Structure 1
Amino acid sequence: MTGIALLGAGIFAREEHLPAIEASPTLTLKAVYSRSQQSAEALAAASKDPSSVAVYFDKPAVEGKTLDDLLQRDDIAAVDIALPILHQPGVVEKALKAGKHVLSEKPVAGDVESAQKLIAWYEGALGGGKPLWGVAENWRYMESIRYAAQRVREIGGELVTFRLVKNGSVRSDNKYFNTEWRKTPQYQGGFLLDGGVHFVAGLRFLLAAAGQDIKQVAGFTALLDEKLIPVDTIHAVALTRDGKPGTIGISFGTEFKSDTEVEIVTTNGVVSWNPTEVKTVARKGDRSDERVEEKKEFPYSSGVTEEVAAFAKAIEAGKIEAIQTPAEALNDLEILQRLLESGAGGATVKSIGV
């Protein structure tokens, strides 16, 4: 069994990761950490056996209870980190320096430059035998999106176009909104960075099944709900590396419309995905004038249990799965950042990976 600690900004930060860790046959929850004693104790209290979970915090100052004290424990081999976006990279680095395997929450950092510096340090500074570092993007582990990717590969053909649509709203009583670091974000994009990176990851996962990724974006941003500063909406066009066009629309400020969908269109058919349903329209055999339609429904699942299980397997195997690497998370972040930059510049064209 691998001893693991959960480092979070209170109980809400990882309310799904706590049972996911405890359900793992190869992980044992030994400790939790949060910046305040109150939130750390609340997180521990939500575990199956609070008496077996040690609590660590920075405020108030108590000898032997700091994050540094936790990271010195030899019986903890890994940490699962879910701290505010701008605080997380420093803790990731500290944990890796302490020799702990790390699963850190998305986004990989608050901006591309910070992410690149952290990844470059990880790849160059620790040398051989360094601990593993994965970035938690649970959308790539949803059963429904994996099935959709499978259908894209089975249908085949060349990509024609694609579409990402996400509409919804964030109420004033939303538990995630009611964290001070989200109410007054000191990072780009607000909820568009914190939540929007999920949707970009989902789009990229399905585009990869068609052998494509995004090369350029251009779009407009807006603030539709004044509390969701600095912006809450993006509408954009995008081009793949082969020059195939598609559209991206993400909004957290649309009160009377709520939907999530990614659509991949190829020369052989179309796959439409949402978290609980995958629709496929494709050619029937070799006859281009006949179509086969399929709809498959799924119970909602966030993919969190699966991503934690993948991290546990990676520790056993000594290698992080490709879709959980910091480099993959950096690609998600870069597309989101370029969309924000394009919107700030009045739909200027932004290139990815240059």
Structure 2
Amino acid sequence: MFKTTLHSQHKETPKIQIPRAGIALLGAGIFALQGNKTEHLPAIEASPALSLKAVYSRSQQSAQALAAASTDPSAVAVYFDLPAVAGQSLDDLLRRDDIVAVDIALPIVHQPAVVEKALMAGKHVLSEKPVAADMERAETLLAWYAGLGAAGRPLWAVAENFRFMESLRYATAQVHEIGGALVTFRLQKYGFIRSDNKYFNTEWRKNPQYQGGFLLDGGVHFIAGLRVLLAAAGQDIEQIAAFTGLLDARLIPVDTIHAVARTRDGKSGTIAISFGTEFKDDRLEVEVATTNGAVLWRPTDVTTVARSGDGKAETKREFAWDSGVKAEVAAFAHAIEAGEVDARQTPSEALKDLEILQLLLESGASGAAVKAIGATR
């Protein structure tokens, strides 16, 4: 009897199987599939709350290649529009009841139309940054989404993975910790896009049908990082004036921005972004200085200088490279469960990133004319 009782006390509790949300990945480009296991396909498969049901790409070949890269290709249905095959189009995918969400990683100019189509089909949407190619299209899409009404509409999140980098989260906490009033700030990113660069060799990036070229595609990341740290200091950008140029003829229409920016409290800082400078340090740096210290963020390290008595104390913390994609997909999965989009993924935040980038380009085209954020909204 004793043994029987003891045995029953140590019986394992049956594990409760939590249903996973069915999701489809739309787009088979570089950022959907990476061998380094940090981008959308492996991020979806790493989420215990998501189940990859299908993939879509415009061409059958690329869609099949994406499915083949999954951990269980036999469980992933393939959809495409070229060639046309009955039952295997994007529209057919969106009609599936077992797919409740889509992760859209398509070329910039195609994203908004597919976002709208997926939302109309009742699917929750995670769409890659930028929110659209320009402010006009972005504002139209946000207004249309708002018109659906908050009650019962699908969730729409915009994927800005820099906001989910662990190093940026830590840098944000450091800005809060040192406190003080903002004094100045800077964003600096120089680099060079070589002809064998995998991003350059995607046709839609090589011949961009959208403003800014690489400055839009990559630049919104850097603007997002700057805005996160400025927000930690209680500020955001209010005015900008920029010079732009094309240093390398391959990187049309422009590849370089040098600008001055001003916050609503009248504090000024600098923004320098270039994809056409071959012989300059290419590290991304965002620095915020306050009356109590300064925080310098790079994706792989954060340096903090804080007031210490009559002097200064400096600390540095290093981080392994992490794109933040896995964390942003996990946040989207949580949003589906919670019924509310993470504040870092709201379309309105993505709109603000895009607005600053677009106004930098417009200011440069106008010979450094001062542009006010929000003036056109």
Please state which band the TM-score falls in when normalised by the shorter chain: over 0.9
1:308 paired with 2:308, answer: no
Q: Report what 1:344 is aligned to.
A: 365
* Matched ranges for 1:42-191 at <5 A: 42-125=65-148, 128-191=151-214
CA drift at 1:323: 1.3
C-alpha deviations, 1:44-101, integer Å up to 9, x for none? 1111011110000000000001000000000000000011111110000000000000
Q: Report what 1:213 is aligned to.
A: 236
For 1:12 and 1:209, locate their aligned partners in 2 and report how far apart those are by CA, in whole Å: 29
CA drift at 1:14: 4.3
* Aligned with residue 348 of structure 2, among 322, 327, 333: 327
* Aligned with residue 196 of structure 1, among 219, 229, 232: 219
For 2:146 and 2:88, locate their aligned partners in 1 and report how far apart those are by CA, in whole Å: 30
Q: Which amino acid aligns with 1:283?
A: R
For 2:65 and 2:175, locate their aligned partners in 1 and report how far apart those are by CA, in whole Å: 43
Q: Which amino acid aligns with 1:316?
A: E
Q: Which amino acid aligns with 1:280?
A: T
Change (3 A) 1:26 1:56: same
Question: Radius of gyration: which is bigger?
Answer: 2
* Matched ranges for 1:213-232 at <5 A: 213-232=236-255
In structure 2, runs of 5+ residues without a counterpart are 1-19
Q: How many residues align?
A: 351
Q: TM-score, normalised by structure 1?
A: 0.98
In structure 1, runs of 5+ residues without a counterpart are none
* Matched ranges for 1:257-336 at <5 A: 257=280, 258-284=282-308, 287=309, 289-336=310-357
Once structures 1 and 2 are overlaid, which stretch shifts more, 118-127 or 253-262? 118-127
For 1:348 and 1:65, locate their aligned partners in 2 and report how far apart those are by CA, in whole Å: 50
Look up the SS of the partner of 1:259 in the other structure: coil
Sequence identity percentage: 75
Q: Do the aligned residues in 2 keep the contact of 1:7 with 1:80 (CA within 8 Å)? A: yes
For 1:127 and 1:240, locate their aligned partners in 2 and report how far apart those are by CA, in whole Å: 32
Q: TM-score, normalised by structure 2?
A: 0.92
Q: Which amino acid aligns with 1:86?
A: V
C-alpha deviations, 1:207-250, integer Å up to 9, x for none? 01001000000010011111110000000000011110000000
Q: Report what 1:25 is aligned to.
A: 48
For 2:104 and 2:223, locate their aligned partners in 1 and report how far apart those are by CA, in whole Å: 21
Q: Which amino acid aligns with 1:138?
A: N
Q: Report what 1:234 is aligned to.
A: 257
For 2:198 and 2:32, locate their aligned partners in 1 and report how far apart those are by CA, in whole Å: 10
CA drift at 1:127: 5.5
